[in-house]
Amino acid sequence: MEILIYGTVNSFKLILIAFGFTLVYGVSRLPNFAHGAIFVFTGFVAWIMMHKLNLPFIPAALLSLVSAALVGVLIYQVILKRIRGMNMNEIIATYAIGVAMIETFRWLGFKGTTFTLPVLFEGMVFIGDVPVDYQRLMVVAVGLVMLVAVWVFTKFTKTGLALRGIAQDERAAMMLGIDSDMTATLAMALGSAMSGLAALMLFPLGSIVVEAGYNTLIFALAVCMVGGIGSWGGTVLAAFVLGFLQVITVSYLATHFQMVVTLGAIIATLIIKPSGFFGKHKELEERV
Amino acid sequence: MLVAEGLMVFYENMLALNNISIKCGENQIIGVFGANSAGKSTLMYTLSGIILDQMKKEKMRGGEQITVMGEISLFDQDISSLKPHLRARRGIVLCPERRRLFPESSVLENLKIGAYMATKKEAKETLDYVLEIFSPLKKLLHRSAGFLSGGEQQMAAIGRALMAQPKLLLLDEPLLGLSPAYQQVVMESVKRIREMKKISIIITEQFARPVIPIVDYAYIMENGSRVMSGSGQELLDNPDVKAAYFGV
């Protein structure tokens, strides 16, 4: 029972962390390795707004989400736009930006465990005989709302449909008047905001530490690779598989094996089915 | 409405289009015929601007160098350097070779994505219209586009292009791989589209026979050059053309 509940919570945690990454890659084939840095960035921005500018939590959270989206837009407009299509360069550039962001925070003195975000609702409930605090239930709820929101957005709005079009065949979408730069910018903004949302939901469970930036990136990558990079359904499925694996590892082995299992899953995926659960290797474009 | 003058396209130093000039008047259907590798698709990519995107990506990757020269104007405005999505906004919509539907989306969703530039009202009207001329699609609306047969895919692809409210519709090899029965259906519908929507259409095809009855004017291309042009009847009467492109 405990494994079931905490496994579910942990799975939604991974969904929150990974979905933004997979969205950006799925739509625009951009691997955003600054994903983890944006996660930490949002946490610190929210903290600064609350403690230096004395804003209440909700406006601080909203503002930090907006700034996360802005960082995403900036990364695309200033850098990625110029190197788009060269995967290795995209990875190196975004990873470098990520490291720079994280290490800047460390350099500015944001280290240790003194930085915390408040939970939205205090208290806990018992499900069966397992105690679960409200914040963890919120993680599940927000994760579900996010998935439903993305589904509605991409099914029923014009812009969302444009994203689906670009994701499946960029040039065919261009022929219909869809601007690839616009959709990529939008995807980066949304993906970064999702990473920020994950931060706002997850940091209250512990404290804001810079190292979380690296761990988050690795978790996001693991989920995306196991699920098939860019596949939205695969991401959700992989989040559940890894989510439960991690919880089982923690309860039967030890906490620090969590990362080993996660990385092991990447390696196992690469050996058994390199494209992941639902991944597809796009065929090379034929010559005209 | 569309005037293209002196189009030259090089892939590295291979000449793909050699000084091609092509004109399309309002409400006309123009045919472009030629064998494989004659440059038909390159011409379509050049008119729709996709070639600029190819050029940009190849350059970034340090791959082959694509050079494009010549002038294209639409309604007397120069569009030679406009990006593909901006050309689409001005009314040039390409229905590409091998259809390139969005395979994971349903037919309905493909049509909806096509309606990106349309207003709600236009989208609804065009959807009704598309389902009227391509009535077999009605039953397939919720099927994913990757699982359709070639003919059904072609109908969906033309439908999707129509949803984008084209003023000039470019059809690149719409009959490729279709049975003669479906070829007939597609050609009939192209004729109806021209009559009802009052738009211009440029069709490329390898095999001219099914297309020639509906074109106002046609060009024949070989190795990137224009070898002949004339009205449908003129081409039909020419013995060389007959032997090479009509299979008589």
Integer Cα distance of A104 and A45 in angstroms: 13
pLDDT, mean of residues A53-60: 94
Percent of chain A with pLDDT over 70: 97
**Per-residue pLDDT tens over the stretch B161-187:** 999 999 999 999 999 989 999 999 999
Residue B114 to residue A176, Cβ atoms within 8 A:
yes
List the single residue in B50, B105, B112 with the smallest CB-CB distance to A168. B105
pLDDT, mean of residues A216-232: 92
pLDDT of residue A278: 81
Cβ(A210)–Cβ(A42) below 8 Å: no
pLDDT of residue A284: 38
Report whether pLDDT(A285) > 70.
no
Residue, of A109 and A196, whose pLDDT is higher: A196
Residue A176 to residue B45, Cβ atoms within 8 A:
no
Q: What count of CB pairs under 8 Å joins A to B?
A: 86
Q: How confident is the model at residue A218 (pLDDT cuts 50, 70, 90)?
A: very high
Report whether pLDDT(A286) > 50.
no
**Per-residue pLDDT tens over the stretch B3-56:** 999 999 999 999 999 999 999 999 999 999 998 889 999 999 999 999 999 999
Query: SS3 of A14, please?
Result: helix
Chain A hits for B83, CB-CB cut-off 8 Å, are 174, 179
Provide the whole-model pTM.
Answer: 0.91
Burial class (CB in 10 A: 0-12, 13-18, 19+), A121: exposed
* Strands in B103-195 per DSSP E: 168-172
Report whether pLDDT(A245) > 80.
yes
User: Which sequence spans correspond to the domains of chain A?
Assistant: 2-107+127-272
B85, closest residue in chain A (CA to CA): A177
The CA angle A90-A95-A99, to the nearest 5 degrees, is: 155
Cβ(B97)–Cβ(B173) below 8 Å: yes
Which domains are assigned to chain B? 2-246 (3.40.50.300)
Percent of chain B with pLDDT over 70: 99
pLDDT, mean of residues B72-83: 96
Q: Where are the alpha helices (DSSP H) in chain A?
A: 2-28, 35-51, 57-74, 81-83, 87-107, 134-156, 158-168, 170-175, 180-202, 212-227, 232-252, 257-272
pLDDT of residue A104: 95
Mean pLDDT of chain A: 92
Q: How far is A76 from chain B (nearest CA, A)?
A: 16
pLDDT of residue A280: 63
Question: Which residue in A146, A259, A269 sits closest to A212, CA to CA?
Answer: A259
Report whether pLDDT(B243) > 80.
no
Integer Cα distance of B110 and A23 in angstroms: 20
Cβ(B64)–Cβ(B77) below 8 Å: no
Residue B113 to residue A164, Cβ atoms within 8 A:
yes
Report whether pLDDT(A138) > 50.
yes
**Per-residue pLDDT tens over the stretch A257-278:** 889 999 999 999 999 988 888 8
| Token pair recorded at residue A76 | 């695309």
Helix (H) or strand (E) holding A132: strand A130-133
Chain B hits for A85, CB-CB cut-off 8 Å, are 57, 60-61
**Per-residue pLDDT tens over the stretch B45-69:** 999 999 999 999 888 888 889 999 9
pLDDT of residue A170: 94
Query: SS3 of A170, please?
Result: helix
Please say whether the structural domain A2-107+127-272 has been given the CATH code 2.60.120.
no
Taking the CA atoms of B90, B92, B96 and B99 in sequence, report the sign of the dihedral they define: positive
pLDDT, mean of residues B188-212: 93
CA A267 to each of CA A42, A136, A239, A252, A280: distance values in angstroms, whole numbers, following the listed order: 30, 30, 16, 22, 18
CA B135 to each of CA A250, B102, B140, B166: distance values in angstroms, whole numbers, following the listed order: 58, 20, 10, 21
Report whether pLDDT(A282) > 50.
no
* Strands in chain B per DSSP E: 2-11, 14-24, 29-33, 66-74, 77-78, 92-95, 168-172, 200-205, 217-222, 225-230
pLDDT, mean of residues B126-154: 95
Chain B hits for A175, CB-CB cut-off 8 Å, are 48, 50, 84, 88, 93-96, 161, 164
Integer Cα distance of A267 and B37 in angstroms: 44
End-to-end CA distance of chain B: 34
